Amino acid sequence: MPTLSRRHAFLGFTAAGAAFAMRRGFAQAPASGPFTLPPLPYPPDANEPHIDTQTMQIHHDKHHAAYVANLNAAVKDYPQVAAMSLTVMLARLGELPEAIRTAVRNNAGGHANHSMFWQLMGGKGGAPSGDLAAAIDRDFGSLDTMKMTFNRTGLGQFGSGWAMVGVDRSGKLTMLNRPNQDTPLMDGGRLLFANDVWEHAYYLKYQNRRADYLAAWWNVVNWQEVAKRYDAARAGTLDV
Ligand code: MN3
């Protein structure tokens, strides 16, 4: 099979695999797939009054659920892709079959981003402590400067996307932004935390006032959870 690249051969997208996928297309569609919607780790009113209950419910139960359903639909006929973890799938986007690459990018990205996002909230804001606080001071100057830069990043993201802080194995923090449901996981990176600046994340309560939403979000951040992510990043065990 001289025309197949090594990467395609590695992932098993051979003629036999394509034929298998086509046969599956005629079979009964499964009711679900390998990916599932994680439950919110707190009641939907836990972030009131800063993030309202209805926004939490629609955001989690409808928007995140749709990313999961669309991802399962995209990988349905591609068992080699369906078997991958989210982080592997996103890091290898360029190797995936072209027919599903965009769907996986949008929906695996959306599933990863939101799975992380719920974990970051449900807290009482305030300030981090210990190694995480020291890293924020070292890499951004101070917590207040970091928040200001993060809010400006979120405000400056044109259209839909995310304001993000990335973290590497050494614990170095980096201010980032990504459009749509893109994530540094697509470049093999890891996220410490991020805030969703799609209008669906804030429009019911804040309408066009994205700056107010960004400012209020800090009141529900769970810094204990962020600190766990920081420790996991340095241990090399941080996933989505
Ligand atoms: Mn969202």
Q: How far is the CA of 160 from the centre of ligand 1 (A)?
A: 9
- Per-residue pLDDT tens digits for 8-30: 444 544 333 433 333 333 333 34
Q: How far is the CA of 5 from the centre of ligand 1 (A)?
A: 36
Q: Is the pLDDT of residue 3 over 60?
A: no
Under DSSP, the state recorded for 28 is P
Top-tier CATH class for 130-235: alpha beta
Residue 32 has a pLDDT of 74
Q: How far is the CA of 58 from the centre of ligand 1 (A)?
A: 10
Could you tell me the CA-to-CA distances from 159 to 26, 106, 154, 165 in Å, in that order?
Answer: 39, 15, 10, 19
Q: Where are the domains of the chain?
A: 130-235
Q: How far is the CA of 60 from the centre of ligand 1 (A)?
A: 8
* 160, burial (CB in 10 Å: exposed 0-12, middle 13-18, buried 19+): middle
- Per-residue pLDDT tens digits for 205-231: 999 999 999 999 999 999 999 999 999
Q: How far is the CA of 40 from the centre of ligand 1 (A)?
A: 14
Residues with CB under 5 A from ligand 1 (ion): 196, 198
* 88, burial (CB in 10 Å: exposed 0-12, middle 13-18, buried 19+): exposed
Q: How far is the CA of 1 from the centre of ligand 1 (A)?
A: 43
Q: How far is the CA of 200 from the centre of ligand 1 (A)?
A: 6
